[in-house]
Structure 1
């Protein structure tokens, strides 16, 4: 009975963390969004939340947090920057970027997990750039080009306007994640996974 209780307790804790980060990403949309150079895809702070989820939650929990948020958005809740919500956002120019948040968060988490029990700031930053920027762009740019009927190269140039801001977000995320992990070691995905295994969780 004791082991069974442990197995129930750890998943509950994971679900709580997933819910917290889904809410955090939603809150980061409250400042609104900015459209630059006539780009149909807005710049928001929510991508910072996606990166932070990956850096602290790890692969599957980060992907689940983003999935929960997007399911709520699809259900009509105005949780995206600018108060956007509903199925219509998944047919617009930013649809690919939104869907890309899921693998982007997962890849960020996967890279951080490979950085070990004490991930360096540079490793965290590279993980955020790899997952939260490169992977998201890999989904977002082709979908935007297809929806808007634009050449892929032209769409990539439009997306380049996001790069300076996304690099800044990656640096800020790495700093916040590293500070959090130093204060709370369980915020390191590798440490969390090892504790679950030691406690008999999954």
Structure 2
């Protein structure tokens, strides 16, 4: 389902600022949501599925892009970073326990959805464009304000989802199943 969410966020028109090679898209919001809602393993696997669908040619990236060619472009590091970022967001989210905490969600989304994603994205830009990592870092400044907004939006949405469906993360589900098993033994 979250592969579909990330694909749907690709329908939001991408914007490539003049002089920049990587488009600004809403899809990194879906990456953060996948990790924050599904947890590390399932969130990361959802993004692996998304990239597999892109690789076979489905036009799921912003601007209707797809196919193996996108993995040779300057955004390759960001694309490869999608499942890694979702995993990190999910792993950090799971460390907070079964109840989703907004402040911790913001930290998890920032670390996974910005720091980790930017590290891989900047590395990919540097390699593909043949520029220094510092030049790629400077070229990435334009993405930061929008991504900081996405960090907060993803945390607020994830808090709402976890409030409506407690136990989506492993510990909460395990505790609920243990309580149900205890109730059945008591009967």
Q: TM-score with structure 1 length normalisation? A: 0.85
Separation of aligned partners in 1, 2:171 and 2:69: 38
1:152 to 2:133 alignment: yes
Separation of aligned partners in 1, 2:126 and 2:178: 44
Question: By how many angstroms is 1:196 displaced?
Answer: 6.7
2:116 aligned to 135, 144, 149, which one? Answer: 135
The alignment partner of 2:11 has SS state of: coil
1:110 aligned to 91, 100, 117, which one? Answer: 91
Equivalences, count: 181
**Change in CA separation of 1:189 and 1:41 when aligned onto 2, cut-off 3 Å:** farther
1:6-63 residue CA offsets vs partner (Å, 9 max, x unmatched): xxxxxxxxxxxxxx11111100100121112421111111100000000011011001
1:99 to 2:110 alignment: no
Question: By how many angstroms is 1:119 displaced?
Answer: 2.5
**Change in CA separation of 1:45 and 1:151 when aligned onto 2, cut-off 3 Å:** same
Question: By how many angstroms is 1:194 displaced?
Answer: 4.5
Structure 2: runs of 5+ lacking an equivalent: 182-187
1:90 to 2:37 alignment: no
1:28 aligned to 2, 6, 9, which one? Answer: 9
The alignment's C-alpha RMSD in Å is 1.7
> How do 1:60-79 and structure 2 match up within 5 A?
60-79=41-60
Shift >6 Å, 4+ stretches = 196-200
Question: By how many angstroms is 1:130 displaced?
Answer: 0.5
Q: Which moved more, 1:20-29 or 1:180-189?
A: 180-189
Structure 1: runs of 5+ lacking an equivalent: 1-19
2:171 aligned to 186, 190, 199, which one? Answer: 190
